[in-house]
Chains A and B, each alone.
Chain A
């Protein structure tokens, strides 16, 4: 299974996780793991998800999540896991 990493960075506010999860549920994207932390007063969340069930093109998911982020004032990125594995694991 190819995993995807979704990151959310921004000012903490009510309903960030709810909005992101709603979008994921609507698009049959399964959440495998969530972790979050506050770095320099910024809300920092990472989700590991499985995008195998969705019909949508990856590029469209990337852009739609970006829009979700804009509507709640945070930055949402969606990237295939390999870039992180490549960079941080030998």
Chain B
């Protein structure tokens, strides 16, 4: 039987070390809503989502009460809207009407984000894909809870450089369209390589076409728990260090598995996956950067950072895999800058640069995440940064992503405040040499040689 010390340990994790379930994300397929009539399409989308998700928030709260574990977010992901709207939408404005429908239903069922305003264009763009992408700046400026993502590359297909070029422009336009809110729209827009179909985390969540009609995916979070566990093994060797991370990750993931199974039962929706990512928040003691420091770095960005992050990421997976019957999504340590107090401090101290962050993304999920850059950064420069990150994902057969925020009207040395879980960030300098001619070539980068496995 459970003893008092085990109970105390669990409750300590919840109360003092910020253990929580970061999100229950309900994936909903909209494929059966497709219609050539835009009005009818919007109505079908509204009703399908409303009916599927009306009990999501109350169920999450009930489970939270039963187990005494906070469930921070309840979210929805839907089939990439470029596929759903292709038949009905003739202009980017038509796509914006779908974004409005998604925003409305998100408000009504009470979820804080809805993801899937997306296009999958890793090899090429259809007319509908391009229209959706061009509608993103408007869609993100007139809605509050809609999140958008565009997959522009994969190991199997290579990188669609036309889409990469376009996304550089779209990110700038989104920043301009939301400049009154410090370009907040860009915080809800992710560019992916190898995007997973079952990611529960925003802003990159969408319900892939390989998925069932509805599915429950859960993301856990416990950087504070890992950090506290590591405090007890200071000075020990790597074997002890790795074992400690693994055991802690197991415990954290088990909570996610329990919540996922319970939500699945109560909502009568199949359980999909638990995402093993260590997701930080700007709260003190909920930082991935602090774990890296506990491993032995003075600041994140110091030599050794990439190795420390690689071992952390690997051990989290090793511990988590056994704790859940299905693991998926992004599953790795997140290193968003604005959402992690330790990362923010490292940037402010001059220890962490964009280039070091890029190196770190080679060994963890997800990529250059929540990084504020000067508002006057050129679109082609943003495209160049995207291309670099996509190449890392393509060659290493992993998911990578870019979520950059060119903050209009602000420059290096200034700080931008997004609020809530999105946090705040010092604006980081960007290499100012041009890549115009590279980005301007057009076409595709072919798939790498090791993708030909058949």
Contact call A83/B8, Cβ cutoff below 8 A: no
Q: What residues of B have a CB within 8 angstroms of the CB of A5 in the complex?
A: 2, 7
Contact among A37, A39, A85 with B2 in the assembled complex (CB-CB below 8 Å): A85
Contact call A7/B65, Cβ cutoff below 8 A: no
Contact call A77/B11, Cβ cutoff below 8 A: yes
A49–chain B nearest beta-carbon distance, Å = 13
Contact call A83/B257, Cβ cutoff below 8 A: no
Once the chains are docked, how many angstroms separate the CA of A57 from the CA of B251?
28
Interface residue B442 (Cβ < 8 Å from any Cβ of A)? no
Contact call A87/B68, Cβ cutoff below 8 A: no
Contact call A59/B62, Cβ cutoff below 8 A: yes
Contact call A86/B257, Cβ cutoff below 8 A: yes
Q: A5-B2, A48-B1 are in contact. Are A84 and B65 (CB under 8 A)?
A: no
Q: What residues of B have a CB within 8 angstroms of the CB of A36 in the complex?
A: 4
Once the chains are docked, how many angstroms separate the CA of A35 from the CA of B7?
11
- The chain A residue with its CB closest to the CB of B251 is A87
Contact among A35, A48, A87 with B255 in the assembled complex (CB-CB below 8 Å): A87
Once the chains are docked, how many angstroms separate the CA of A86 from the CA of B323?
9
- The chain A residue with its CB closest to the CB of B69 is A83
Interface residue A78 (Cβ < 8 Å from any Cβ of B)? yes
B61–chain A nearest beta-carbon distance, Å = 8
Interface residue B254 (Cβ < 8 Å from any Cβ of A)? yes
Contact call B10/A88, Cβ cutoff below 8 A: yes
- The chain A residue with its CB closest to the CB of B63 is A80
- The chain B residue with its CB closest to the CB of A75 is B15
A2–chain B nearest beta-carbon distance, Å = 10
Once the chains are docked, how many angstroms separate the CA of A87 from the CA of B9?
10
Once the chains are docked, how many angstroms separate the CA of A7 from the CA of B12?
12
Q: A48-B1, A87-B254 are in contact. Are A80 and B6 (CB under 8 A)?
A: no
Q: A77-B68, A79-B66, A80-B67 are in contact. Are A88 and B11 (CB under 8 A)?
A: no
Contact call B62/A84, Cβ cutoff below 8 A: no
Once the chains are docked, how many angstroms separate the CA of A83 from the CA of B14?
11
Q: What residues of B have a CB within 8 angstroms of the CB of A37 in the complex?
A: 4
Contact call A83/B68, Cβ cutoff below 8 A: yes
By CB atoms of chain B within 10 A, which of A44, A46, A77 has the most? A46
- The chain A residue with its CB closest to the CB of B2 is A84
Q: Per-residue CB proximity of B1-40 to A under 8 Å, as 1/0? A: 1111011111100000000000000000000000000000
Contact among A35, A58, A81, A83 with B3 in the assembled complex (CB-CB below 8 Å): A35
- The chain A residue with its CB closest to the CB of B322 is A90
Q: What residues of A have a CB within 8 angstroms of the CB of B61 in the complex?
A: 59
Q: Per-residue CB proximity of A26-70 to B under 8 Å, as 1/0? A: 000000010111010000101010000000001100100000000
Once the chains are docked, how many angstroms separate the CA of A5 from the CA of B10?
12
Contact call A39/B258, Cβ cutoff below 8 A: no
Contact call B66/A80, Cβ cutoff below 8 A: yes
Q: What residues of B have a CB within 8 angstroms of the CB of A44 in the complex?
A: 4, 8
- The chain B residue with its CB closest to the CB of A90 is B322
Q: A48-B1, A83-B255, A83-B258 are in contact. Are A88 and B67 (CB under 8 A)?
A: no
Contact call B4/A81, Cβ cutoff below 8 A: no
A33–chain B nearest beta-carbon distance, Å = 8
Q: What residues of B have a CB within 8 angstroms of the CB of A46 in the complex?
A: 3-4, 7-8
Contact call B7/A84, Cβ cutoff below 8 A: yes
Q: What residues of A have a CB within 8 angstroms of the CB of B65 in the complex?
A: 58-59, 62
Once the chains are docked, how many angstroms separate the CA of A77 from the CA of B3?
15
Q: What residues of A have a CB within 8 angstroms of the CB of B67 in the complex?
A: 79-80, 82-83
Contact among A7, A35, A59, A62 with B11 in the assembled complex (CB-CB below 8 Å): A7
A5–chain B nearest beta-carbon distance, Å = 6
Q: Per-residue CB proximity of B38-74 to A under 8 Å, as 1/0? A: 0000000000000000000000011001111100000
Contact call A82/B258, Cβ cutoff below 8 A: yes
Taking CB atoms and an 8 Å cut-off, the chain A residues in 6-24 that contact chain B are 7, 9
Q: What residues of A have a CB within 8 angstroms of the CB of B8 in the complex?
A: 7, 9, 39, 44, 46
- The chain B residue with its CB closest to the CB of A6 is B7
Once the chains are docked, how many angstroms separate the CA of A39 from the CA of B65?
26
Q: What residues of A have a CB within 8 angstroms of the CB of B9 in the complex?
A: 88
Q: What residues of B have a CB within 8 angstroms of the CB of A33 in the complex?
A: 1
Apart from A80-B67, A83-B258, A87-B10, what are 6 other A-B pairs with CB-CB below 8 Å?
Answer: A37-B4, A39-B8, A48-B2, A81-B2, A84-B6, A87-B6
Can you sample 13 A-B contacts with CB below 8 Å? A9-B8, A9-B11, A46-B7, A48-B1, A58-B66, A59-B61, A59-B66, A77-B11, A77-B68, A83-B10, A87-B6, A87-B254, A88-B6
Across the A-B interface, the 3 shortest Cβ-Cβ residue pairs:
A79-B68, A59-B65, A83-B67
